[in-house]
Amino acid sequence: MLLLVGLGNPGGKYARHRHNVGFMAVDAIGDANGFGPARTKFQGELRDGSLGGEKALILKPQTYMNDSGRSVGEALRFYKLDPADVIVFYDELDLAPGKLRMKTGGGAAGHNGIRSIDSHIGNDFRRVRIGIGHPGDKSRVTNHVLGDFAKADQNWLEPLLDTIASEASYLADPDNNRFQTAVAQKLAPPRKPAPTTKEKLAAAPQATTADEPPAKPAPKNPFSALGDLLKGDKS
């Protein structure tokens, strides 16, 4: 069984925050893959479904970000799961907007939701980090993270969430690269096909007669000039 955890803060005023992109990701997965409606359990919202032929649960802790580990720990113990069965989706400042990386274990890197989960179940769970970009100045980080996605962000956010949902079956594979690569390939811009031989010939520059230098006169045979002189000599 898989336990997919989305991190965020509960309540409508936080719904579009960059910090809530984990909630957005698991909602997209549940909606696209036929998960059941949410019910209240483990101090969170829980949905049942399956991915890649494996039973899966989606959990959105309602404890606020800093206490996410309490909800995750309760669910883990109830279902007798291992940390390796847990996949956490969350925002990552140190990734460019729209980039996605998946790994197992590691540090919290200043993310309070991850730090809380670490303290309740250890750090051997799988993580899907969703890039939201860094504002460039440390003093602007809080407002950036706890601010709504800009309108321009929808150009990458919606395709990314749709792709996370469509490729979610790869999450059942313990190889993190399978899911990460599937998402990256689907989001990659289409490659322009190589030109055909006919197209190459049509595009090649064509020489014109106007570009050709004028032909040089053929050099005169010196012996013919001598013959002319002898013909004219009457002595």
10-13: long-range pairs with CB below 8 Å, 24+ = 10/60, 10/62, 10/64
Characterise 208 by phi-psi region: left (phi > 0), alpha (psi -120 to 50), beta (else): beta
> Contact 89/26 with Cβ under 8 angstroms?
yes
Is 134 catalytic? The answer is no
Q: Dump the DSSP string for 157-188.
A: HHHHHHHHHHTGGGGGSS-HHHHHHHHHHHHS
The secondary structure of the chain in percent helix, strand, coil, rounded to multiples of 5, reads 45, 20, 35
> Contact 100/164 with Cβ under 8 angstroms?
yes
Measured in residues, the chain has a length of 235
Catalytic residue among 19, 111, 120, 144: 19
Please give the sequence-ordered ranges of beta strands (E in DSSP) within the chain, or none if there are none: 2-6, 39-41, 44-51, 54-61, 86-92, 100-104, 126-131
Q: Which residues are catalytic?
A: 19
